[in-house]
């Protein structure tokens, strides 16, 4: 199975059974060996790697985060490495970053994670950890108030739960499942250009799974709504966490039973059938019309490479 560069390399033990122990977490948050990733407006702070052609997460020590008076009690627990060293993320606003005395050198540069993924600037391990931190940080930003009674919620379990102080309702980090599917009639596949894409880029169809749907139904519904194509067999191929804000992309191969496209132009700017040769040319940036496909950071790229027989 091919490995997408964004989010599938798990290198830390999330210690699910221990992170609910407040005393244990407190010890980890103040332990000398612990490491802290900083997110400024959800952008990870990075540093040039040893070769200077790539970057890596800039980890701060416990001493550094204490000296900067960062909100360590709200640090998000990412996990333990093989040496038992705890890794956390501290998510702060750009306003706080600017207002923290002496901190500028510690918080620059903070770079948008999607940009880093597209550039392939981080190792897959760092990309995965930054994605985990970004998704969790974004969820906390949106879960400060109880969805049931509107009162404030408090962070628990190192960031893996919030609890309403008034009504006691517990809230857990959510993941939004998205189906992303390569529709094929055997020889060709359907790719679409969405209004928000950069010019000339075509990608596979995708859409959120709705309540009450299984994966197969969501694939058939989305493809039908957007292109009018009837899909029969649906095969799971691969998945990928996508921390924008906190989705799980479920990659499928969808076998078309019809071929007559009726494109929903409110959703898509264009959609059409592409031959394997055309897709190969797009992946290799040599399509005669200058058409391109998503890069290796995206699961669409994995699906397309599978289609042309590269995996």
The distance of closest approach from Cβ of residue 172 to Zn ion in the complex, given in angstroms and rounded to an integer, is 14
Determine the size of the site formed for Zn ion (CB under 5 A).
Answer: 8
Q: Which stretch binds Zn ion (CB under 5 A): 149-157, 247-255, 265-273, 274-282?
A: 149-157
Q: How far is the CB of 168 from Zn ion (least distance, A)?
A: 7
Does residue number 167 form part of the binding site for Zn ion (CB under 5 A)? yes
Q: Which is nearer to Zn ion, 33 or 167 (CB)?
A: 167
Closest CA to 191 of 266, 114, 268, 135: 268
Q: Which stretch binds Zn ion (CB under 5 A): 11-19, 27-35, 169-177, 240-248?
A: 169-177
Which of 4-12, 14-22, 50-58, 141-149 is the region at the interface with Zn ion (rule: CB under 5 A)? 141-149
Biggest CA–CA distance in the chain, Å, is 64
Site stretch for Zn ion (CB under 5 A), options 100-108, 110-118, 151-159, 172-180: 151-159
Among the listed residues 149, 269, 275, 311, the single contact to Zn ion using CB under 5 A: 149
146 makes contact with Zn ion (CB under 5 A):
yes
Q: Which ranges in the chain belong to alpha helices (H)?
A: 22-30, 62-67, 94-99, 113-119, 124-141, 215-227, 276-283, 299-307
Q: Is 115 exposed, middle or buried (0-12, 13-18, 19+ CB in 10 A)?
A: exposed
Is 162 a binding residue for Zn ion by CB under 5 A? The answer is no
Buried b (16+ CB within 10 A) or exposed e, 41-80: ebbbbbeeeeeeebbebbbbebeebeebebebebbbbbbb
Considering the rule CB under 5 A, would residue 144 count as an interface residue with Zn ion?
A: no
Cβ-based nearer residue to Zn ion, 148 or 230: 148
Out of 39, 45, 164, 283, the residue judged to bind Zn ion by CB under 5 A: 164
Q: Which residues contact 83 (CB under 8 A, 6 or more apart)?
A: 33
Residue 127 falls in which region: left (phi positive, over 0), alpha (psi -120 to 50) or beta = alpha
Residue 189 contacts residue 180 (beta carbons within 8 Å): no
Q: Where does this chain bind Zn ion (CB under 5 A)?
A: 146, 148-149, 151, 164, 166-167, 169
């Amino acid at each position: 199975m091919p490995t997408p560069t964004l989010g599938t390399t798990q290198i830390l033990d999330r210690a699910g059974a221990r992170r609910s122990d407040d005393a244990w977490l407190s010890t980890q948050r103040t332990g000398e060996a612990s490491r802290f990733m900083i997110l400024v407006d959800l952008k990870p702070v990075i540093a040039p790697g040893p070769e200077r052609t790539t970057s890596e997460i800039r980890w701060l020590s416990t001493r550094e985060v204490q000296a900067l008076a960062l909100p360590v009690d709200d640090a998000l627990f990412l996990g333990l490495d093989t040496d038992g060293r705890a890794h956390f993320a501290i998510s702060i606003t750009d306003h706080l970053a600017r207002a923290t005395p002496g901190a500028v050198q510690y918080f620059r540069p903070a770079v948008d994670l999607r940009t880093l993924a597209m550039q392939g600037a981080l190792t897959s391990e760092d990309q995965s950890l930054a994605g985990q931190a970004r998704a969790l940080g974004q969820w906390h930003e949106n879960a400060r108030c109880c969805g049931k009674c509107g009162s404030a919620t408090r962070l628990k379990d190192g960031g893996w739960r919030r609890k309403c102080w008034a009504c006691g309702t517990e809230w857990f980090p959510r993941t939004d499942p998205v189906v992303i599917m390569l529709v094929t009639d055997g020889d060709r596949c359907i790719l679409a250009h969405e209004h928000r894409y950069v010019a000339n880029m075509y990608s596979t169809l995708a859409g959120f799974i709705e309540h009450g749907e299984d994966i197969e139904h969501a694939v058939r519904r989305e493809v039908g709504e957007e292109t009018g194509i009837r899909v029969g067999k649906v095969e799971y191929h691969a998945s990928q966490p996508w921390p924008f804000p906190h989705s799980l992309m479920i990659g499928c191969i969808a076998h078309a039973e019809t071929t007559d496209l009726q494109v929903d132009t409110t959703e898509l700017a264009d959609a059409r059938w592409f031959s394997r040769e055309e897709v190969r040319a797009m992946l290799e940036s040599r399509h005669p019309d200058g058409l391109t496909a998503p890069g290796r950071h995206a699961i669409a790229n994995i699906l397309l490479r599978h289609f042309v027989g590269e995996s």
